Structures are given as structure tokens and as C-alpha cells.
Amino acid sequence: MIQCRWCQAQNQPGTTSCQTCGAPLDEKDKVSDSGWREAPRLRDMTEFQFSGSTCQVEGELVPVAEVALHPRDGVYFEHHVLLWKDESVPLSSLNTGGGMKRTIGGMPHIVTVANGPGRIAFSRDAPGELVVLPLHPGMELDVREHAFLVASHSVQYSFVRIKGLVNLLHGGSGMYMDRFVTAGAPGMLLLHGNGNVLQRTLRPNEKILVEPGGFLYKDSSVQMQAAQMPLKTGHLRHGMYLAEMTGPGRVGIQSMYVHHHAD
Amino acid sequence: MNTYICRYCRQPSDPNSPTCPLCGAPVDIRSSVSDSGWVEQPAIKDMARLQFGQSHLQIAGTTVPVAEFNLAPNDWIYFSHHVLLWTDPATRLTNMPMRGAWNRKMAGMPLVMVEGRGPGHLALSDNHAGEVIALPLQHGQQIWVREHRFLCATGNIRYDWYPSDLWYETGDGNDREMHYPMGQFGDVFGSHEGPGLLLLHAPGNAFVRDLQPGQSLLVQPSALLYRDVSVRMSLHLEYPRNMGFAFWHNRWSYRSIWARLFGPGRVAVQSVYQPPEDTEIIVNHSYATTHHW
């Protein structure tokens, strides 16, 4: 058997891409000297499975995730990432709670649900990569707002408010993060990262400082708080803040980002 | 070690390495040259390492590449705080004030640079899909760079900035408006105290061409990425022939505003650019040649 180095799933000998996450199995890992691992660049038309459904990734500049839904499967997503669908695929809405607070925070308080059977496709509107994160039971992942592309129905969706006044005022990742949790069953989560996506696993109490706009996702075990740098920027001599991540757990970043507190 | 001259950075390099250790260009590829003589700048290979001083950097990614620095204790780089992606807590970050704060503010340029000092790691990336361009500079060598294309430079590279001298004015009275199709200022980088390394970010793809003495070329002003300081430039205004309709339009809506570059020297362009706006009639401009078809 071949173990996928991205999602750790086992694959039959002779397969060239992981059946669980689509990562190429016949390429060397791309890990920088300081330990950042590039998210696997999925080959055009790569397919992988989740539950009884299949996802195919098309394109490489702004990739599209095309899902062939099994009759008993469903996925949910923010409605503006829907690229096309079969006419027969039913859509419904799911209230995430938090209504007005999330609206004020720029987050959708309703996500759309699509159920099988049928085909449906998703993409975001920036050059970047699809990050495929199979979630094993009991996992919790926090994702920056508007980076989530689609998740399988077995993944529970909630959100966490970024705590602390300093985080709200200076942390560029916004007021809320999406939280994805798996209970008893595994699930599939697809994100869109702008530019290139890199992941690093922090040891317990290991720290890294990340531009808040570059933050993409983290295990919920990773603590995040704003850290002021000994720098002043811009005409008004603003303080500069970075997101201090403290392990243990994975941290994912994107190389293209919107800078929220640039001057 | 045999040496050869890297065809991209034009510095003595190592032919036995898969990539040039000074600029990251692949060694084992054929040059891609268009019929008109533009040499395509090859993208730096994913995870390629570049050496400078006692430090090195590694390029990660190909869509929006990240430049990841491993800084030795006595080495330092400077950059705008906008491009900082992550840093080790151990890396020392301090302010590097720039002269001419008011003019820089008016031109939309960063007022304060950040110095990053080793030992430690930090990483930089820009906000556009494109390429990182590494320009090793020999002692005393200078290069002109269009504003906002600068990613970072090693501490021994001196940074200065000058008015670009390409401008035109439209409207009259209170509606008079200045336009700078190449930006109000241009950056000039020069290496002193030994060789240094300058990193740029080019949105899209980058192409390089050598102009012979007296040879001239028209390029979109916002497509110019860098040029040798020996290359001169001026404005060129071109108006299409009036085909008998919409006669008032050809005075501005269909005109072309070019940067005319005069050799000798190296020029580089990027494939992503913003053409100057179709605005009102030009009432005044910097030195320009004009052509009506």
C-alpha cells in the first residue's frame, strides 16, 4: 500500500493520485527548509472519493471542483461559489445561526445545501489552489472567512468569534472563523487558497508569526492571538500586528492575501 | 568549479547546479526567445535556493511565489511591511524610515521600510499571480525599477527614488489633472559594499530584451518592470488616422500613450499592465514625440 503524505490515507500500489484527497503520489514532497509543506497541486482532472460521491478537479489557475453526488450524499457551500449544476440537483438553505452578528461581520448566515443524485461544480474567483482536507472523526478545523469552498454533509459547520478586542481591531482575518467539526463519521472539506498554500505543523508551544491576511486554516488546538511588532507603519504611524500561532497543530497559509490594515 | 555566465542574471554562475545560485533561473533549459528578441524570464523552480552573503533564500510556490529567507546573524534585508507573510519570533524587525515622506505618501508609496535581521527565518510574498525576479547586483551596479514592483533587497543595496519624468496633463481650470502613466516616481537600486541581491515581483510573466545603442522601442508604461540606468525614456503619443466617423474621438479615446525606451541597455516588461485611462485632451506633457497616422 502507498500512504499519502498529505492526508495519510492508504492507496493501492500503482495509483498515481490519492483516492481520498487527490494528491499526486508519484511526486516528491515540497517542503521548505523551515518546514512549510506546499499543499499538493492537484493535477487537472484528478478524481477522489468521499462517502459515495466523487469529486473531480478541473483547471489549475482557478480550479473548479466538480462533484458527482451519490443519492444519499449532500454538500453545503456559500451560494456565490456555485459555478453550475444539473437542473435536477435540489438546493435548500441552512441557517447557520448568529444572524445579524454574522451579517455585520461580513459572513453569510445561510449556507446552501445540495443533495444527490447529480452533478454540481464550485469555484472561487481568484488564482489559487484547492486544498482538500479529509476530516477524520473527532477533528476540529478553523478556517478564515470566505476561504471555505464546499463541505460534505457529515461535517458540522459552526463559527467561532475571534476573541479579544485586539484581535477584532487589528487581526486582519476578520471577526469570525468558520469551524468545521466531524463527530462520528469522516467528512470532506475543500478550501480555496489564494496564490499558493503552505502548511506547517507546530510542536507544542512552538510559535510562528503570520500576516493575518495570509492565515488560511488551523487545527482548533492551535491558539491564535494578535501580537504587536516593534514597528510603526504608514503616515499615521500605526502599530503593526501579526497573528501569533502557538502549537500544537497544523497551520495553513496562503501567499496572496487581502491586507486589512495596510497603509 | 567551472564558471559560466548565467544568461538571465548575467553574473558568473555554477553550471553544475540545476538552478543559478544567484538568481534561481534554471540552468538546464533552452532559452525561450520570441521572433522579435524578447527572452522569456523563466520562473524560478519551486524550492530553488539562492545564495547571498552567508544567507540563503528559497522560493516556494509558482502561482504567487513566496521568498523564504534564512538570514545569517550578520545579514539583513529590507522590504515594505505589506509583503511580510510570516516570520520566526526570533527574527529582529525594525523600522527603516524613508526620506520625502510627504511626496511618497502622495505617490502611494510605502513610507516606512522594515528591516529584517538575522539570525532567523522570514518569508515575503506579493499580492498578484506572477513571478519573483531575482536581480543580483555587482558592486557599483545600478538598476531602475518601476514603483511598487520592489519586493526586497539585501542590506548592502542602496535605495533611492526619483520623479519618473513621464507625465501629461488634461482638463483646464479647476478640472486640470496630472497623469503619471508609469507612476510618479521610479526606484533606483545600487549595490555598494560588495554584491547584493534585489528581488522584484512581476504580475504575469516577465520578458527581457537588450536594446542596441540608439535603438528605441515603445512599451505600455505600466508594463515596464525594470531597465538599466543607461536606457533613457520619454513619452510618445500616437493618434490613429481619422476614418471619417467620430472625428472628435481620435484626439483622445483611441490614442495610445507609450513609453519610448532608447538603448543601450537591458529592459524588462511584465505581461500584466493597466493601459492609461482614456481621458480628456492632453493640454500639457513631459517631453514627448507624437505621431498622427
The 3-state secondary structure of A194-235, one letter per residue: ECCEEEEEECCCCEEEECHHHEEEEECCCEEEEEEEEEEECC
pLDDT of residue B247: 53
* Residues of B with Cβ-Cβ distance to A214 under 8 angstroms: 85-86, 125
Q: Is A242 on the interface with B (CB under 8 A)?
A: yes
Phi first, then psi, for residue A207 (nearest 5°) are -120, 150
Chain B partners within 8 Å of A242 (Cβ): 84, 86-87
Neighboring chain A residues of B93 at a CB cutoff of 8 Å: 229-231
pLDDT of residue A172: 55
Measured CA to CA, the distance from residue A55 to residue A61 in angstroms comes to: 18
Please name the residue ranges forming H helices in A81-141.
99-104
Burial class (CB in 10 A: 0-12, 13-18, 19+), B57: buried
Q: Taking CB atoms and an 8 Å cutoff, what residues of chain B touch A259?
A: 82, 127
- pTM for the full model? 0.89
- In chain A, count of helices (H) and strands (E)? 2, 23
**Do residues B112 and B162 touch, judged by C-beta distance below 8 A?**
no
The per-residue pLDDT for A129 is 94
Tell me if A209 and B111 make a contact (CB, 8 A cut-off).
no
End-to-end CA distance of chain B: 57
The least confident of A70-84, A91-105, A183-197, A238-252 is: A91-105
Strands B150-154 and B76-80: antiparallel
A233/B111 CB distance under 8 A: yes
Q: Which candidate from A194, A207, A232 shows the least CB-CB separation from B89?
A: A207
pLDDT band, residue A263 (cuts 50/70/90)? very low
pLDDT value at residue A167: 57
- Residues in chain B predicted with pLDDT less than 70, given as ranges, are 1-3, 99-109, 111, 242-254, 278-279
Which residues is B250 bridged to in the sheet?
Answer: none
CB contacts < 8 Å between A and B, how many? 112
Interface touch A262/B93, C-beta < 8 Å: no
Q: Which of A112-116, A205-209, B99-103, B154-158 has the lowest mean pLDDT?
A: B99-103
A33 and B68 within 8 Å at the Cβ level: the answer is yes
Q: Do B64 and A255 touch (CB under 8 A)?
A: yes
Interface contact A255-B112, CB threshold 8 A: no
- And the C-alpha cell for B206? 516577465
Residue A135 and residue A69 in contact, taking contact as beta carbons nearer than 8 Å: no
From the CA of B93, how many Å to the nearest CA of chain A?
A: 7
Q: Which residues contact B40 (CB under 8 A, 6 or more apart)?
A: B32, B33, B34, B205, B206, B207
- For A81, the grid coordinates are 461559489
B250 vs A4, higher pLDDT: A4
> Is residue A173 scored above 70 in pLDDT?
no
Chain B CB contacts of A208 under 8 Å are 86-89
In degrees and rounded to multiples of 5, residue B151 shows phi and psi of: -105, -55
Q: What is the pLDDT of residues B169-193, one digit of tens each?
A: 998 888 889 999 999 889 999 998 8
- Tell me what the pLDDT averaged over chain A comes to: 87
* Percent of chain A residues past pLDDT 70, beyond the cut: 86
Comparing A234 with B85, the larger pLDDT belongs to B85
For position A170, what pLDDT does the model report?
54
Q: A169 pLDDT exceeds 60?
A: no
Residue B28: predicted pLDDT: 80
| Beta-carbon count within 10 A of B34 CB | 10
Number of residues written out for chain A: 263
Question: Cβ of A207 under 8 Å from any chain B Cβ?
Answer: yes
pLDDT of residue B123: 98
Give the number of C-alpha atoms closer than 13 A to the C-alpha of residue B250, restricted to the C-beta side. Answer: 13
How far away is chain A from the Cα of B148, in angstroms, using its nearest Cα?
Answer: 14
Which SS3 state, helix, strand or coil, does residue B113 take? strand
What cell was used for B225? 518592470
Which chain B residues have any C-beta within 8 angstroms of a chain A C-beta? 46-47, 49, 58, 60-66, 68, 70, 81-82, 84-89, 93-95, 101, 105, 110-112, 114, 121, 123, 125-129
Return the number of other C-beta atoms located less than 10 Å from residue B156's C-beta.
19
Q: Do B60 and A30 touch (CB under 8 A)?
A: yes
What is the chain A residue with the closest CA to B111? A234
- Best of A62, A231, A232 to disrupt the B interface by mutation (most B CBs within 10 Å)? A231
User: What is the pLDDT, as a whole number, of residue A209?
Assistant: 95
ipTM of the complex: 0.85
Which neighbouring-strand residues pair with A77? A112
